[in-house]
Amino acid sequence: MTEFSRRDWIRTIGAAGAAGALGGIDSLHARPGTAGAVPATPLAVRDVYAPGDIVELYSTSEVFIPPRGRSWMKFSFDFPEPGVVFGDHRFSFLVFTDENTYSLDRALMRASGTDSALELTCTGLVWAGGQEKAPGSVIVRFRRLGRTIEWDIVAEAQHPIKTVTTVIRDIPRGQVSFGGGQLQDTRDGDATCSIRSGSAFPLYISIDSLPADAPQYEGFDLVVKYTGLTAQEDADAEVWPDCAFPAQFYDEGFIGIGCVIGVEPAGPSRYTGVIATSSFTCSQSGTISLVHSSKDTDVVETLGAIHGEGENTSEKLTISCDRGGAEAQEPEGGPRSQQPTQEPRAATQTAAAIEGTIQHRQRRFLLRNSTVHKNVIDFN
């Protein structure tokens, strides 16, 4: 037997280790056609979520960076977009005020429900890429009816809310339609969307919370001014559960709505939520303003004790009306080749209601709803 020195043993073992490190586990595959052969193609791995799962996402998650087509309102850093799973999709939400953009605080998000109905609550907001926190809350209620998904959003923040954005992921790549418009492929670009001209939409007015100096109330007055749109003159204050004597008044560009409680034994109300509705027709683009003051939109605690929110201020919605559908934006230099992968934000909706038909597209899909009320997507 030939003597095997300690130095030769170390040299041999070291060479074998280096070969294994260079070849990796793929180098251990058996020859094709032999027993135990392992395919050279790696197995595809896909995350599977249950309804109500909270997932960590960012504005740059699963999108092209930089965008391949025209795009709007992109942060230059990772902005948190934590999402909740419902109906095979992941939904994220952003809150826009006049001074900042906020996302939901993932640590304060809670979801409960089933695959047919689910409620998401969040009791805090974040900004500055998630580095700063702010008071606020977001409640989203999802419903699934066959192939239709609906969700209602109620949001509160320390500053007046301008709009709330819904970001939807896991929508198959393909053609898309908004507001009953024609199906079209927006390719790698974003799309601006609007309410279809001639269609109707509802306005919901709600009390989110009562002021500290008015923990209860006996009635309210609402002053709504509008331009461009056509009021259907169907204002309804009886959605307020304590309404006994409703009143409505209409003039050009003006709607007055009010109600008071009934006579004894009816007592003051502590209700928060929707207190009035009114419908409009999108005859042309325009605005809707809720005018505040103790002589306009106010809460009546008792006779002589009237509370207005921000004297001589207003909340304004901008409503965009056209033929309906999405206006696709081509990338500079013409359309790019389609690729079966996920895309940047695909659509922005500034409107009072959202109705869409989405087919065969893999994208990160963004909808904006100015009324913070009802969103509908119908998958056909």
Distance CA 278, CA 255 (A): 9
Maximal CA-CA distance, the chain: 113
Distances (CA, A) of 153 to 56, 140, 163, 195, 301: 20, 5, 11, 19, 28
Confidence of residue 325 (pLDDT cuts 50, 70, 90): very low
Q: Is the Cα torsion angle 281, 283, 285, 289 positive or negative in sign?
A: negative
Distance CA 189, CA 358 (A): 16
94 against 148, higher pLDDT? 94
Q: Nearest CA to 239 among 281, 291, 202?
A: 202
Q: What is the per-residue pLDDT across 23-72, written as a single tens digit (0 to 9) for each? A: 444 444 445 555 555 556 666 666 788 999 999 999 888 877 777 777 77
Give the CA count within 13 Å in the CB-facing half-sphere of 37.
8
Q: Nearest CA to 361 among 204, 176, 184?
A: 176
pLDDT of residue 318: 78
Q: What is the per-residue pLDDT across 1-15, written as a single tens digit (0 to 9) for each? A: 455 555 565 555 555
pLDDT of residue 364: 39
pLDDT average, residue stretch 297-309: 81
pLDDT of residue 351: 30
Query: CA angle 52-209-266, nearest 5°?
Result: 115
For residues 138 and 153, the answer to whether their CB atoms sit within 8 Å is yes
pLDDT of residue 180: 60
Q: What is the per-residue pLDDT across 270-280, written as a single tens digit (0 to 9) for each? A: 998 889 999 99
pLDDT average, residue stretch 102-109: 96
The answer to pTM > 0.85 is no
Confidence of residue 130 (pLDDT cuts 50, 70, 90): very high
Distance CA 120, CA 122 (A): 7
Confidence of residue 176 (pLDDT cuts 50, 70, 90): confident
